[in-house]
Structure 1
Amino acid sequence: MVQFPGTCDEIDAVLAAERAVGVGNAELLWHRDRDLKGVDAVVVPGGFSYGDYLRAGSIAALSPAMGAVAEFARAGGPVLGICNGFQVLCEAGLLPGTMLMNLSRRFTFRDVTLRVEAADTAWTAATSAGQELVIPAKHQTGRWYAPDDLLDEVRGNDQVVFTYAADDRPNGSSANVAGVCNAQRNVVGLMPHPEHATDPLTGSVDGLLLFRSPAEAARV
């Protein structure tokens, strides 16, 4: 887990990862770290890195840790960006598109229904194409946007990983996109928070599937 000043969901992400794989050895990496300490997977968690100054995720994308994450990703390592982490990965050029303010101009915080469009990524190997997941979303700058030519390219390469259910789009994103992957399919970003859907008390454990997926993908 990569921490930036303003990150606030890293502990929940650590607990989700540990619950999913049944071990307690997740590492917390500070934004100035250039050494990823031999981790098997990287999660860039949610929050408000650097207070969302300039543009959400733009300062964090320039951190030493993200340079190391980029190298890890280029080598095929699994990387997941959640909410602000998705914004950071887009700003770092590791994922296509950009994130804009919700069309409502308001912060949204509620459960949303996601449809799995691609089950062959490092972070969806434990899911099935067409499966619906109930996961909470909480963001104000969560509208994924791509111009028509880039959207066509992303769709053509099957890089749309998650979409919002047709009647459950919280932000006005292009083509209802809730999450995308890179061409190599090892880097995934999504706006909803799977780390908050890992306990029956929250109403859904669907988020555990994402945290189990890297191990599933490694077995293929």
Structure 2
Amino acid sequence: MATPRVLILRAPGSNCDQETAFAFETAGAKAEVVHLNRLLERPVLAADFQILSIPGGFSYGDDIAAGRIFGNQIRHHLRDTLQEFRAAGKLILGICNGFQILIKSGILLPDRADEPQATLTLNDSGKFEDRWIWLRTASQKCVFLQGIESMYLPIAHAEGKFIARDEATLNQLDSAGQLTLRYDLPQDGSAPDAKLTEAGLLPYPLNPNGAQRNVAGLCDDTGRVFGLMPHPERHIDPTHHPRWTRELRERGDGVAVFENAVRFFG
């Protein structure tokens, strides 16, 4: 199997780039962390890679809004580069702040459109949420989620509430299988009385930000561009689990996400 090369694109304020590189290399890829300015200077660099990943953190201090400045740089200076990257059959992954960046660039997620179809906004709780949550895969459209039914991963964000432009857009994305990752009920029985609200939402903190239809991750119409608020790169080793001494497991739940990306090029 060929070893895919991964471009980890960081900027001032990114702080999960090394963890993301470790996760990809654990899965069998070769990762390289590159500053955004290097790609702005030489966009042709992207052609040397098969996977592009934008990691979590607080790019540019989350000034204006989380991911907005980085997203605007992509929109105005790297639009053609990233669209060509996707058109070449390659993979793009945005994690947490990376998801915010992708969706606010307005050129990759959910799909190619003249106007934004969705956004990620302030959590309903009005505060930064840092906790572990249960997830389920709602469709197999996304390359990164192939064969994955559920995961237990950490989240850490203040602006993770997914909202579509309107109900018609939300229904279209849902029926197309693009709302591919959802917050879920605990599978360890820790919330036996939890019930969906009238709007079909899980109660807080199971849905930690109030996202429409419990959306935690979204893919484009090809299934090869994926953004998610949880951090799969933070659950790679079994000891990353908060109860690892009591709930022994062979590996972290996040590994499969990165293995799927590597397998795609096998």
After TM superposition, give the deviation of residue 66 of structure 1 in Å: 4.4
For the pair 1:16 / 2:23, whether they are aligned, the reply is: yes
After TM superposition, give the deviation of residue 121 of structure 1 in Å: 1.9
**1:160 maps to which residue?**
179
Deviations 1:49-97 (A, max 9, x none): 1111112111101336743333312332110100000001101121132
**2:71 maps to which residue?**
61
In terms of Rg, which structure is larger?
A: 2
Counterpart AA for 1:84 = N
Q: Which runs of 5+ in 2 are unaligned?
A: 1-7, 111-117, 186-201, 242-250
Deviations 1:137-180 (A, max 9, x none): 00000101112111011011110110001451110000000001
| TM-score using structure 1 length | 0.91
**What's the secondary structure of 1:7's corresponding residue?**
coil
- CA RMSD in angstroms, aligned pairs only: 1.6
Cα distance in 1 for residues equivalent to 2:208 and 2:155? 8
Count of aligned positions: 214
Deviations 1:186-205 (A, max 9, x none): 10000000000101101261
Counterpart AA for 1:55 = A
| TM-score using structure 2 length | 0.76
Deviates more, 1:1-10 or 1:208-217: 208-217
Aligned-residue sequence identity (percent) comes to: 33
Deviates more, 1:187-196 or 1:112-121: 112-121
Q: Please tell me whether the aligned partners of residues 29 and 36 of structure 1 are also in contact (alpha carbons under 8 angstroms).
A: no
Dislocated runs of 4+, deviation >4 Å: none
**1:70 maps to which residue?**
83
- Equivalent residue in structure 1 for 2:155, among 131, 134, 137: 137
Cα distance in 1 for residues equivalent to 2:167 and 2:88? 30
